[in-house]
Copies of this chain bind each other. A is one copy, B any other.
Amino acid sequence: MALEEAHWPEELFADLDRTSPLPMYSQVASRLESAIRSGVIPAGGRIESEMAIAERLQISRPTIRRAIQDLVDKGLLVRQRGIGTQVVQGQVERSVELTSLFEDLSQAGISATTTLLDHEVLEADEDVAARLSLPAGDPVLHIRRRRMADGVPVAVLDNHLPGEFADLLPASLEGAGLYQLLRSRGVGIRIAQQRIGARACTPDEASLLEMEPGAPVLTMERLTYDHTGRAIELGRHAYHPDRYSFSTTLVAR
């Protein structure tokens, strides 16, 4: 079985910029990725060897290697020692990144709207306090929102945040994603732990999501940490399963 070696158009790496703030490995990876996603490098096709690319672009092998590794981690490429690097067969879905539902929907070109159902400062009960690494009884902001996509209800979102975020304006919560607001306050989300499950919806959720009472909902509990490793937000979400699902790409190391 002959493995086709792709011949790349000259322009592919024409606009690499060594003075750009974007690292070279990132520039190389993004150009490779778009070549793969657009089919310029066909599925199953082999790409040039690390050494060849390094020499062609006049960039050191470790830098090229890092660019390729990033795409391997994304599930776009596959490497075999002694063989080479190939594009994965089959269409590759875009994997779930560390973004909010709001951003997911906007990116897909769907108009997302949010209704704020609750906005209150409570004393943290033991469970919430422990998850947020706070003393029990500390003030926490609790918000509850309903998210619609193209006018159809998609999810009910419950969130708890440390008390210092109590000044998040209700109005702003209806116009933007939570992560977007946090980012504009200089809080960068870095790590999230998720648990995804299912259960029957509550009567409350049934009416908010326009479902039959007792119908299934997809649930997600997410605990997010900022760049310092501090717990920032505890989310408990319920999704209408006909209108939302989670996609991921796993790569063995």
- Give me the interface of A with B, judged by CB distance under 8 Å: 43-44, 75, 78, 80, 86-90, 92-93, 95-98, 131, 133, 188-200, 214-218, 223, 225, 227-231, 239, 241-242, 244-252
Query: How distant is the Cα of A189 from the Cα of B88 in the complex, in angstroms?
Result: 13
**Complex alpha-carbon distance, A190 and B229, angstroms:** 30
Residue among A93, A98, A199, A217 having the largest count of chain B Cβ atoms under 10 Å? A199
Contacts A198-B216, A248-B194; is A86 near B228 (CB within 8 Å)? Answer: yes
A71 CB → nearest B CB, Å: 12
Q: Nearest CB to that of A75 among chain B residues? A: B191
Please name the residue on chain B nearest to A132 by beta carbon: B90
Q: Are A228 and B78 in contact (CB under 8 A)?
A: yes
Given contacts A228-B86, A249-B191, contact A199 B216 (CB under 8 A): yes
Interface contact A78-B250, CB-CB below 8 Å: no
Q: Which residues of B contact A194 (CB under 8 A)?
A: 246-250
**Cβ distance A236 to chain B, nearest Cβ, rounded Å:** 13
Residue of B nearest to A196 (CB): B246
